[in-house]
Structure 1
């Protein structure tokens, strides 16, 4: 049996993680587009996944996303032009800027949270709530 047949029969961690990510991401962006957010692309998810109602500094977004400063800066520039975020002075340090979601950004955050919760509920129904919770605990332990 060749490698591709073996991997088709028993996919490795990388293949499974890719299927999980692309499946979730595809559904998230498809449904978001159906609700008027068709201007977003998957790379925007590096920032959108970590947006906070109270705002975050760019360096914190960079750390959370695990990307470099230039990449996050470029994504923020795009999201700002699209009307999802704005950079405002940080009240704790006027020299710093907070990345804040706009009204459109907040609307997207609420929708995204609902979509992900629906996906997670569907997965939990498929394998059982206990097994799904155990899967999440294990995945968190592996990825920490």
Structure 2
């Protein structure tokens, strides 16, 4: 019988797999003209969503301050990935929306994630990959699509 793997290795292995996926996606993004996009930006783009959001809402979704969200928005706006526009439902609010360039990042990264998944299916077999997905759904707490990782990784916790 094999020795049990030390518990501390599991989070490191999960993070290494996550890192491999993200690194592959960012290599693809760079090849498609998006070299300035950072892993944090994926969380930002998802938090902005198709309808847009405000800086306050974005900060809350990411688990960061309004000021941190504002800096990120300004940086992405300068690069052409987001734009600020008046909220059609409330003229006092400014919405942050993805531009066509920002939407292209989402499309490229989606194709990259599919390609990584296909490579993993080749490496371990489609049945084991499906089982891995099922196991992770079982083990991940309730809302496993949380976007607050930037705030969670922050030093002010």
**TM-score, structure 1 as length reference:** 0.77
**CA apart distance, 1:142:** 6.3
Q: Higher relative contact order at CA 8 Å, sep ≥6: structure 1 or structure 2?
A: 2
Following TM superposition, the consecutive aligned residue runs of length 4 or more in structure 1 with deviations greater than 6 angstroms are none
| Structure 2: gaps (5+ residues) | 145-157
Aligned to 1:56: 53
**TM alignment of 1:1-144, pairs within 5 A:** 11-13=9-11, 15-125=12-122, 126=124, 128=127, 129-141=129-141, 144=144
Q: Secondary structure at the match of 1:114?
A: helix
Asked if the contact 1:124/1:132 (under 8 Å) is kept, the reply is no
Aligned to 1:3: none
- The Cα offsets for residues 100-120 of structure 1, whole Å up to 9 and x where unpaired, read as 111111111211122123223
**TM-score, structure 2 as length reference:** 0.72
**CA apart distance, 1:137:** 1.0
* RMSD across aligned positions (CA): 2.6
